[in-house]
Amino acid sequence: MEKAYLEINNICNLSCDFCHKTRREKRLLTEAEFEVLTDRLQGEVKYLFFHLMGEPFLHPLLPQFVKRAREKGFLPAITTNGTLLAARGEELLAAPPYKISISLHAPAANAAFAKENYLPACIEFGRRMAELGTIVAFRLWNIGGAGECENEKVLAALRRAFPAPWEDKWSGYRLAHKVFLEWGEEFAWPDLAAPAAPADMPLFCYALRQQVGILVDGTVVPCCLDAEGTLALGNLHEAPLAKILQSPRARAIYDGFTEHRATEELCRRCGYARRFKK
């Protein structure tokens, strides 16, 4: 397994229209729980993303978790909406992760992205983090959505900050050393209430092939988009990851996607999985 999405909290300071959100009980991962879960992931995954639902910068132990993850041999990564960088960024600069992704999904998603100091704070933080050797990815995952019309303001700010010719990449641009812009199409989160893909539509996903998710209570799910834990496979507090991944449900999901079919209703209602239907 290449990466695990470890949800250190499922609380967010925003309520963006593109986000699925979650109805689960709000809680923070404790220091003791973090130690147990990362012990069980040690040797099983390479990259440890502190994200599934929630804003990681709301967790008071985020810098400590990054340091402990590195000490245990993981490459820690963070995805953030960027709104707390001005308040808490210095703490993370003292404990830099392997990668940080900053979502700049334009004012159409949330009014917080339109505040005057938001973009400058994100860009300056990204510049400083890259100087420390951290990979910085500015994300615009709104292509084809309502917010795409706002992207030019973001792009203009990035061009002023990183004026050198941008190097074209498969999913965006390399703006400077360790600094990237990632494009992405807007997609519909998986939801049992959403329309299902036709039964004969080929579907594929890297869930359980390259990634696995661990919710804040230790529940193991196939991917980083299972916001409610609908596809619970087991609990990492109760069983090793290898055993959970060999459960009948996990094997069925994996084998189904090998044959380009979704065995779970939630997967048939995932807009992201349809990207791989060909």
Cα(47)–Cα(259) distance, integer angstroms:
27
pLDDT at 277: 53
Radius of gyration of the chain (CA): 19
pLDDT of residue 276 exceeding 70, the answer is no
Q: Considering Cα of 49, then 55, then 59, then 63, what sign does the dihedral take?
A: positive
Q: Are 211 and 224 in contact (CB under 8 A)?
A: yes
Helix, strand, or coil here: 29?
Answer: coil
Q: What is the pLDDT of residues 74-129, one digit of tens each?
A: 999 999 999 999 999 999 999 999 999 999 987 777 888 889 999 999 999 999 99
The closest alpha carbon to 261, from 250, 252, 272, belongs to: 252
Q: Are 83 and 14 in contact (CB under 8 A)?
A: yes
The 8-class DSSP code of residue 26 comes to P
* In 72-196, alpha helices (H): 85-93, 118-131, 151-161
Question: Is 184 or 124 the better-scoring residue by pLDDT?
Answer: 124
Q: What is the pLDDT of residues 123-137, one digit of tens each?
A: 999 999 999 999 999
Report yes or no on whether pTM surpasses 0.85. yes
* In the chain, alpha helices (H): 31-41, 62-71, 85-93, 118-131, 151-161, 241-245, 248-258, 265-268
Cα(118)–Cα(278) distance, integer angstroms:
38
Q: Are 236 and 33 in contact (CB under 8 A)?
A: no
Q: What is the pLDDT of residues 223-239, one digit of tens each?
A: 999 999 999 999 999 99
pLDDT of residue 158 exceeding 60, the answer is yes
Summarize the confidence of residues 178-183 as an average pLDDT.
Answer: 96
Q: Are 1 and 223 in contact (CB under 8 A)?
A: no
